[in-house]
Structure formats: C-alpha cells, structure tokens
Amino acid sequence: MQISAINKFSLIEFPWEISTIVFTPGCNFRCDYCHNSEFVLPEKLKNVLKNLIMEKAFFNFLEKRKWNLTWVSICGWEPTMQPDLKDFCRKIKSLWYKVKLDTNWRDPLIIKELLDEDLLDYVAMDIKYEVWNFSYISWTKLEENIYIETINVLLNSNIDYEFRTTVIKWIHDEKIIENISKYISFSKNYYLQNYKSGNTLNPNFNWESFSQNELEKFKEIANKYIKNVWIRN
C-alpha cells in the first residue's frame, strides 16, 4: 500500500470518535479545483513516491494506539487505485478498527468486494456533477455507467455512507443540485461542501465560494428528495 501521509489523530471524520487518516497518492480524475495537484499529476507525483511512509510503521502505530483510536479513514486522492487495498483493509480490521473509505467511485467491483467481506464500516463518495455528465468536471474520459454502478452498490448496501458534492459557483446551480438529489433520493446522507479557493490544480480556478444563504437554498432543494442533508463549510 502506498501511504503518502498520515493524520494520526482526527475528529474531522467523526466528531464523536477519533480517527487516523491515511492518504494514498494518485487519482484518475483531474478536477480543476483539486487542492493537491502534487498527489495527482504524474510529473509531480514522482517526488511524493520517493517519500512514502512504510506500511509496517503505520501498523506498528495502530497496534500501539488500539485503545485510543476507533477509526482508520482511507482517503485519496483515490484509494481504489491501490491494488492491495483489500489486503490493507483486512489488516486494519484484524486489529479491530472500523474502516472508512473515501472514493470518487472509480471502481464498483472493489467497493462491492470490500462490502461483501465486511471490510468497510462507512463510505464517503463524491458525486461531482449530474449523473451521466461527470466528465464535465473530472476532465477525464469516463465510462459513466461504471460510476452509476458504484452509486447503486452503495444505495443497496447495509452500511452507513454519505454522498457529497463540492459545490462550485458557475458549475453548480439549483437545477444541478435538484438533478443530483433526485438521482440519489432516499440515500442516507448527502453533504454539500462549499468550494474554497486556494492552490488549485488549474491555477486560474479562483472563484468565490457560495454564501450561506445560497447553500441553505441548495439544502432546501436537496431535502425534497433526501431526508439528511448537511452543509460543510
């Protein structure tokens, strides 16, 4: 498993329980608004790959902290690109940790296998844009049906999960949020995450965030289809 960074103690993922966050390098998308191009673009990724954290050191840490920590959160850039993700989850589970996976849903098969083996306790999945139009935001050629299959795997699962959309001015509007929400209606949780400008993959992508009122309006629209809608600022 390629581990590019670890946040040892975090309350960001679950405010009521402590998590360790593991970051894996590489992503199949090229979103303009990505804040971590060094972990995404192959020409920059070379430097990251020279300084990976040893898996053994990570598991030593987990062994020692068994009584303080509850969750291991595996985040990307896109963790399903790691060929040994399943083994990695098995090892974490063998230490009695709960596992959360963040994904941009590039691989429904691996998600299904992980769920079938009870290796996941929570999944957070990006829904970046309207279903059938994801390519518009990912800047990569996509087989949309694969992404839709992953949504369905999760909708039919028994675990807790969230869908989430980073909402961006000039890209998302009320109609887009309504179309996304309709598609994932009756899902367990939907988070609207406000875009923040910064060191983005596309340096010209410097747009302002939505106001709280605009976010509340999106929430109201999404709430017509999904009971639990949350705003993340």
Is 222 among the residues that bind ligand SF4 (CB under 6 A)? no
Q: Out of 7, 10, 18, 30, which residue is the one contacting ligand SF4 (CB under 6 A)?
A: 30
Q: Of the listed pieces 17-25, 27-35, 62-70, 109-117, which binds ligand SF4 according to CB under 6 A? A: 27-35
User: Token pair 């309504």 is at which residue?
Assistant: 178
The SS3 call for residue 104 is coil
Q: Out of 3, 21, 22, 27, which residue is the one contacting ligand SF4 (CB under 6 A)?
A: 27
Q: Out of 13, 22, 24, 29, which residue is the one contacting ligand SF4 (CB under 6 A)?
A: 29
Which amino acid, residue 74? I
- Footprint on residues 51-70 left by ligand SF4 (CB under 6 A): none
Is 77 among the residues that bind ligand SF4 (CB under 6 A)? yes
Is 104 among the residues that bind ligand SF4 (CB under 6 A)? yes
Burial bucket for residue 8 (CB in 10 Å: 0-12, 13-18, 19+):
middle
Is 196 among the residues that bind ligand SF4 (CB under 6 A)? no
**Residue 128, C-beta contacts closer than 8 angstroms, at least 6 positions apart:** 31, 104, 134, 137, 138, 165, 166
Alpha-carbon span 76 to 69, nearest angstrom: 20
DSSP state of 94: H
Is 31 among the residues that bind ligand SF4 (CB under 6 A)? yes
Which residues make up the interface to ligand SF4 (CB under 6 A)? 27, 29-31, 34, 40, 76-78, 104
